């Protein structure tokens, strides 16, 4: 893989070409398989090391976990071959590496906890087998997403539905009795007998889909209509309303549930989506200001926020307080003891940190594999995020861009929030490490996330389908073409002025042309209802086809400007 | 839309870079702080997984502390021979409460982490042997330690005994009572550790507290007013200023404190001094003489002489850290009066008090006290042998004056009561009866005895302090309470106990 990571270097050449009828780009499934094998080697080495350091002899567990692991990722690979053949070849191996390493750490902490339990005469049932089962379930969901969602643009049809379902899922634990929903002070669970789920993890993706499709449908309204205040054009309240309300409600729920990490994550992602959709940095500035005020208010109002901040400023000072810095301090002790090279897998004491196999799994990794291991894990996350972002850059439709970018950003931001918390960069907020941490909900949700990223990257590199000839795509119906011109002179003309100057790199595509869509709030509010692939029946409404055309056209414009 | 997406990508990159920078800070810059934090038990757990070296005596190789293999998670159990007796030397080694004493001071050797052992450890790894720690040989003489400890414990005394070899500074005995059993803190049962720790660290004033700071090593961590034993320092300063043992001094039964009205400083029991020479003043421990003498010598002279005995050093390590002994502010004549008899703000550790005798015994030269004789590799080969060294650049007093002072101390011993006197052994000594507390006249005084023997060929110097009068209450004196214990200790050191 001597290609640039994708972000800075622009699109992959084959993705940029949109020549219909040309040679199909390489699927690169072979690369994926090779990289998966590489991940499997690392995983196997890691578990052998753990066993060697812990038991002094190799156990059958290795074979068991190894086979399960190989089976899971063989199926995943075959599924990608079948249903997303042009998908990015590095995304799945990155996931395999993280998931595998997570399994090894969970298994390793199981060993330590079992030993500790035996010492005090108790018993401890390992959770690694459960995590394997969760991974299998996650794989099923992964397959389901790849099979059912043939085209990510179809998701825009369900934007309000997913938004509503997301809100319900998010708020469910808050309204349920604490006995069912509260674990360690955070009311974010639904306990169902022998297993529990965190519906918020799924809500995260559903809400992301809602925000992305909503913003795509309203995109122009944010930039053209509205008053100018202090040189900034504010969108009309009715355009912005739903998103502000939805975001406010979500944040309110998080506050009720005392779940700070997801709140922070959610807020960051909404800001990022707003910024990308409107291309105006002012939204980030406004959002950060609101965030700052919110932080101060939360600090004044909630004792648990104040405690977290105190633990962050000096975890050693609040070490002995109830709910104090003990956990963070122990994590830091572990990291410090690990040093640059680490104590060696299986040779440290990661179980000393409470929640060692969930929120604080990175502390264990940092202790046993040292700075080098922690940095490597962070780089794998970055690689995964960047490959996702690269798919978003290359895909042709704005919804795909927004959704892909949002998903990739979610992943990296989550890593930032949890790693920052564990390493005392920011206050600890309680959130899982994607793919690494023990926990079914987090794993399932992140596999869905990755399936969507694969879907988007597949769409980005898949050769254009022949069902609709190119010229027709570029020439909109006369009525729409007229609309485009009007917009180009009034609203569209302003776009380049209002946004920052485009980078001078030749590879950079021109700013997107304004989509051919009337500035009509009520029309757009109905949502994009058109099936994204052409060839619909004639009964498709005008507005719907308008929408589809607009999307297509703006995308092809971008595509053309490249070549 | 790609431009903002690219910027978001850059933001993602920035976030990870930020995390990496912070991780570097934690893993590299702050690593040592976090690793060595006493609340971080990882290092201790790691140390437990290897055979920790022994702490042995230089006499007969008596093992004071050693590790033995167990079946539980902490693979080795630390065991202490006669735990309470040797606790001030060995300290303890606990996975819950860290470590203290030699266990802490020589931790690197005992764990095998010392750089001189690294090469050997590498060869251990290659040859497949479990890594082991080196051993520490201490200067303690079990006979001396036992005699002094038994003497204190059988009488139920709270206090300390220190015995030194005057010519090398080797510490032969270091007793602190009441003591504690480090075996309980080394237990692999956390609850037992916790119970023991809690019972030893309670506030002595609390109603259900049955101990009186047993974990305090009174020999080096506690300072006391030295009382009349400090007159040795004043006498040394006087001799060094040109006075002789026949120099006439004040002999009145009481003198008024300068700058006050009606407050007087009086001799013990309000008696007039039986003699009027410096020699008599020391032999009979006349307070009025030394009060006036201290004022005459002045703060500077007193301080410089005290300094040459080691008083005022704040970095003495044997290698246990020794609390600073000091004179306090000598800023007025009244303060000098009171300081001259070892009261007011003068404070010495029992070790420092033993060093007074040791210095005089060693011809005026103070030797650096030391507890470690030798450091040994796991295979018992020598890593480092400790040489005796002088504590200060110049002697506290000339050898002639030291002999004069010795003779004065022999005279003092002749006037000292107490048990254990032998006709065949000449001891040079000085007693002390130090007032303390908020109401000194009604608080049982600390009883001191510092001595060396044989007077003309010194082999051992001792200091004994018995806190708050021992079993004699207000009537206690250094002679009646402390001297007997000192003599028992001396006998043990001379092999005749």
Q: Which residues in chain A have their CB less than 8 angstroms from residue B46's CB?
A: 343, 349
Q: What is the pLDDT of residues B36-64, one digit of tens each?
A: 887 887 876 777 777 889 999 998 889 99
Q: What is the pLDDT of residues A296-342, one digit of tens each?
A: 888 888 888 888 899 999 998 888 888 888 999 999 999 999 989 88
Structure-model confidence comparison of residues B247 and A555, the more confident one: B247
Residue A243: pLDDT band (50, 70, 90) is confident
Tokens of B487: 């003599």
pLDDT beyond 90 at A267: no
Chain B residues 265-294 with a CB less than 8 Å from chain A: none
Tell whether B248 is covered by a domain: yes
Q: Which residues in chain B have their CB less than 8 angstroms from residue A315's CB?
A: none
Contacts of A84 (CB under 8 A, 6+ apart): A146, A454, A455, A457, A458
Q: What percent of chain B has pLDDT over 90?
A: 51
Q: What is the pLDDT of residues B296-345, one digit of tens each?
A: 999 999 999 999 999 999 999 988 999 999 998 988 888 899 999 999 89
Picking from A11-20, B338-347, B434-443, which range would have the lowest pLDDT averaged per residue?
Answer: A11-20
The residue whose two tokens read 């009205």 is: B261
CB contact under 8 A, A332 and B34: yes
Report CA Rg, chain A: 24
pLDDT beyond 60 at A500: no
- CATH number of B432's domain: 3.40.710.10
Angstroms from A281 CA to nearest CA on chain B: 9
Mean pLDDT of A78-86: 94
pLDDT beyond 80 at B488: yes
Listed by start position, the domains of chain A span 13-461
Picking from A403-417, B60-74, B482-496, which range would have the lowest pLDDT averaged per residue?
Answer: B60-74
- Convert A113-128 to b/e letters by CB count within 10 Å (16 or more is b): bbeeeeeeeeeeebbb
Tell whether B140 is covered by a domain: no
CB contact under 8 A, B31 and A316: no
Long-range contacts of A158-164 (CB under 8 A, 24+ apart): A158/A209, A159/A209, A159/A210, A159/A212, A159/A213, A159/A214, A159/A217, A159/A527, A159/A528, A160/A210, A160/A527, A162/A206, A162/A207, A162/A209, A162/A210, A163/A206, A163/A207, A163/A209, A163/A210, A163/A211, A163/A214, A163/A246
**Interchain contact B49–A (C-beta under 8 A):** no
pLDDT beyond 60 at A560: no
Mean pLDDT of A52-57: 68
CB contact under 8 A, B19 and A509: no
CB contact under 8 A, B12 and A389: yes
pLDDT value of position B231: 93
Cα distance between residue A38 and residue B34, in whole Å: 35
pLDDT value of position A482: 43
Mean pLDDT of A467-481: 46
B228 is catalytic: yes
Q: What is the pLDDT of residues A176-193, one digit of tens each?
A: 887 777 777 677 788 877
pLDDT value of position B128: 53
A vs B, Cβ pairs < 8 A, gives 164
Structure-model confidence comparison of residues B79 and A471, the more confident one: B79
Structure-model confidence comparison of residues B458 and A116, the more confident one: B458
Domain residue limits at B412: 224-371+390-493
pLDDT value of position A231: 62
Q: What is the pLDDT of residues B206-229, one digit of tens each?
A: 777 778 889 999 999 999 999 999
Q: Residue B321 gets which letter from DSSP? A: B
Q: What sign results for the dihedral spanned by CA atoms A82, A87, A91, A93?
A: positive
pLDDT beyond 80 at B257: yes
CB contact under 8 A, B16 and A499: no
pLDDT value of position A550: 40
Structure-model confidence comparison of residues A246 and A429, the more confident one: A429
Contact A348, B42 (CB under 8 A): yes
Mean pLDDT of A203-221: 87
Tokens of B158: 């709270």
Q: What is the pLDDT of residues A386-427, one digit of tens each?
A: 999 999 999 999 999 999 999 999 999 999 999 999 999 999
CB contact under 8 A, B20 and A423: no
Tell whether B187 is covered by a domain: no
Q: Which residues in chain B have their CB less than 8 angstroms from residue A499's CB?
A: 3
Mean pLDDT of B227-256: 90
Mean pLDDT of A372-396: 95
CB contact under 8 A, A371 and B41: no
pLDDT value of position B24: 94
pLDDT beyond 90 at A547: no
Tell whether B128 is covered by a domain: no
Q: Which of B228, B333, B339, B480 is catalytic?
A: B228
Calculate ∠ Cα B202-B205-B210, nearest 5°: 55
Chain-centroid distance of CA A502 in Å reads 26
Q: Which residues in chain B have their CB less than 8 angstroms from residue A416's CB?
A: 15-16, 18-19
Contact B256, B263 (CB under 8 A): yes
Cβ atoms within 10 A of the Cβ of B389, count? 10
Tell whether B336 is covered by a domain: yes
Q: What is the pLDDT of residues B420-431, one digit of tens each?
A: 888 889 999 999
Contact B279, B246 (CB under 8 A): yes
pLDDT beyond 60 at B139: yes
The residue whose two tokens read 């038994």 is: B150
pLDDT value of position A57: 62
- Number of domains, chain B: 1
Angstroms from A329 CA to nearest CA on chain B: 8
Tell whether B261 is covered by a domain: yes
Tell whether B163 is covered by a domain: no
Mean pLDDT of B166-193: 91
pLDDT beyond 90 at A474: no
**Interchain contact B9–A (C-beta under 8 A):** yes
pLDDT value of position B205: 79
Q: What is the pLDDT of residues B359-396, one digit of tens each?
A: 999 999 999 999 999 999 888 888 889 989 999 989 99
Q: Is A215 helix (H, G, I), strand (E, B) or coil?
A: helix
Mean pLDDT of B155-162: 93
Structure-model confidence comparison of residues A255 and B100, the more confident one: B100
Angstroms from B319 CA to nearest CA on chain A: 26
Tell whether B359 is covered by a domain: yes
């Amino acid at each position: 893989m001597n290609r640039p990571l994708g972000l800075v270097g622009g699109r992959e050449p084959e993705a940029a070409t949109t020549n219909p009828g040309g040679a199909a780009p390489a699927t690169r499934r072979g690369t994926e398989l090779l990289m998966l094998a590489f991940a499997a080697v690392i995983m196997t080495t890691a578990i052998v090391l753990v066993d060697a350091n812990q038991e002094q002899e190799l156990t059958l567990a290795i074979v068991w976990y190894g086979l399960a692991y190989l089976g899971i990722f063989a199926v995943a690979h075959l599924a990608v071959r079948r249903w997303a053949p042009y998908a990015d070849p590095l995304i799945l191996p990155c996931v395999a590496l993280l998931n595998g390493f997570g399994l090894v750490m969970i298994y390793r902490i199981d060993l330590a906890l079992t030993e500790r339990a035996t010492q005090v005469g108790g018993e401890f049932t390992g959770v690694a087998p459960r995590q394997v089962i969760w991974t299998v379930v996650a794989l099923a969901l992964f397959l389901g997403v790849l099979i059912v969602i043939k085209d990510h643009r179809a998701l825009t049809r369900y934007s309000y539905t997913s938004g509503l379902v997301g809100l319900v899922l998010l708020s469910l634990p808050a309204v349920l009795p604490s006995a069912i929903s509260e674990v360690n002070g955070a009311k974010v669970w639904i306990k169902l007998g022998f297993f529990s789920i965190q519906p918020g993890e799924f809500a995260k993706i559903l809400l992301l889909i809602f925000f992305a499709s909503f913003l795509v449908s309203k995109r122009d309204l944010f930039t053209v209509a509205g008053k100018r205040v202090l040189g900034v054009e504010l969108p009309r309240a009715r355009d912005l309303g739903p998103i502000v309300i939805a975001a406010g409600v979500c944040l309110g729920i998080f506050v009720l549930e005392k779940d700070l990490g997801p709140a922070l994550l959610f807020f960051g992602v909404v800001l990022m989506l707003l910024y990308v959709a409107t291309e105006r940095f002012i939204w980030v500035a406004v959002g950060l200001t609101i965030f700052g005020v919110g932080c101060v208010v939360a600090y004044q109002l909630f004792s648990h926020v104040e405690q977290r901040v105190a633990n962050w400023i000096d975890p050693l000072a609040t070490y002995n307080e109830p709910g104090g810095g003990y956990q963070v301090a122990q994590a830091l002790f572990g990291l410090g003891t690990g040093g640059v090279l680490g104590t060696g897998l299986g040779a440290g004491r990661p179980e000393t940190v409470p929640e060692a196999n969930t929120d604080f799994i990175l502390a264990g990794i940092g202790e046993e594999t040292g700075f080098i291991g922690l940095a490597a894990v962070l780089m794998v996350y970055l690689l995964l995020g960047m490959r996702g972002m690269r798919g978003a850059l290359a895909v042709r439709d704005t919804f795909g861009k927004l959704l892909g970018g949002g998903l990739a950003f979610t992943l990296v931001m989550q890593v930032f929030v949890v790693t920052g918390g564990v390493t005392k960069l920011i206050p600890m907020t309680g959130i899982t490490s994607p793919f690494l941490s023990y926990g079914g909900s987090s794993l399932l949700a992140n596999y869905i996330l990755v399936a969507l990223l694969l879907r988007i990257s597949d769409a980005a590199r898949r050769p254009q389908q022949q069902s609709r000839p190119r010229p027709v795509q570029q020439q909109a119906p006369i009525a729409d073409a007229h609309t485009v011109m009007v917009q180009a002179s009034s609203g569209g003309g302003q776009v380049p002025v209002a946004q920052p100057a485009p980078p001078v790199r030749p590879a950079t595509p021109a700013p997107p042309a304004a989509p051919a869509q009337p500035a009509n709030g009520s029309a757009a509010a109905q949502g994009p209802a058109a099936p994204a692939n052409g060839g619909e029946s004639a009964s498709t409404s005008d507005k719907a086809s308008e929408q589809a055309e607009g999307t297509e056209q703006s995308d092809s414009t971008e595509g053309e400007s490249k070549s | 839309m790609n431009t903002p997406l690219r910027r978001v990508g850059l933001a993602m990159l920035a976030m990870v870079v930020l995390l990496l920078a912070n991780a570097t800070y934690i893993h590299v810059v702050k690593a040592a702080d976090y690793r060595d934090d006493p609340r971080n038990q990882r290092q201790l757990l790691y140390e437990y997984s290897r055979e920790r070296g022994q702490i042995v005596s230089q006499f007969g190789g008596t093992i004071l502390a050693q590790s033995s293999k167990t079946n539980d998670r902490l693979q080795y159990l630390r065991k202490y021979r006669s735990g309470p007796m040797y606790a001030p030397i060995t300290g303890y080694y606990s996975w819950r409460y860290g470590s203290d004493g030699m266990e802490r001071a020589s931790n690197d050797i005992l764990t095998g982490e010392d750089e001189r052992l690294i090469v050997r450890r590498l060869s251990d790894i290659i040859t497949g042997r479990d890594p082991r720690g080196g051993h520490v040989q201490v200067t303690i003489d079990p006979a001396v330690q036992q005699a002094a400890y038994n003497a204190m414990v059988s009488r139920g005394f709270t206090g300390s005994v220190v015995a030194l070899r005057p010519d090398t500074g080797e510490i032969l005995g270091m007793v602190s009572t009441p003591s504690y059993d480090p075996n309980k803190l080394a237990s692999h049962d956390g609850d037992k550790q916790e119970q023991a720790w809690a019972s030893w660290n309670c506030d002595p004033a609390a109603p259900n507290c049955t101990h009186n700071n047993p974990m305090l090593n009174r020999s080096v961590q506690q300072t006391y007013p030295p009382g009349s034993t400090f007159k040795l320092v004043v006498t040394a300063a006087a001799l060094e200023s040109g006075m002789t043992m026949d120099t006439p001094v004040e002999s009145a039964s009481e003198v008024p404190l300068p700058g006050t009205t009606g407050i007087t400083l009086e001799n013990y029991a309000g008696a007039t001094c039986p003699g009027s020479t410096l020699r008599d003043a020391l032999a009979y421990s006349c307070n009025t003489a030394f009060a006036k003498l201290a004022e005459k010598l002045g703060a500077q002279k007193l301080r410089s002489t005290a300094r040459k005995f080691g008083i005022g050093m704040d970095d003495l390590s044997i290698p246990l850290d020794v609390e600073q002994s000091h004179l306090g502010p000598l800023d007025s004549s009244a303060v000098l009066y009171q300081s001259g008899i070892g009261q007011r703000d003068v404070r010495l550790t029992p070790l420092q008090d033993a060093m007074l005798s040791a210095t005089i015994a060693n011809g005026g030269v103070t030797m650096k006290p030391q507890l470690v004789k030798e450091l040994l590799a796991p295979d018992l080969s020598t890593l480092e042998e400790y040489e005796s060294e002088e504590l200060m650049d110049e002697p506290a007093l000339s050898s002639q004056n030291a002999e004069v002072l010795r003779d004065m101390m022999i005279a003092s011993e002749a006037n000292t009561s107490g048990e254990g006197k032998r006709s065949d052994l000449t001891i040079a000594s000085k007693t002390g009866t130090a007032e303390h507390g908020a109401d000194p006249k009604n608080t049982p005084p600390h009883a001191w005895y510092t001595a060396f023997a044989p007077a003309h060929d010194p082999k051992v110097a001792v200091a004994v302090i018995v806190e708050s009068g021992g079993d004699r209450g207000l009537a206690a004196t250094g002679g009646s309470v402390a001297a007997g214990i000192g003599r028992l200790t001396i006998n043990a050191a001379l092999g005749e106990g």
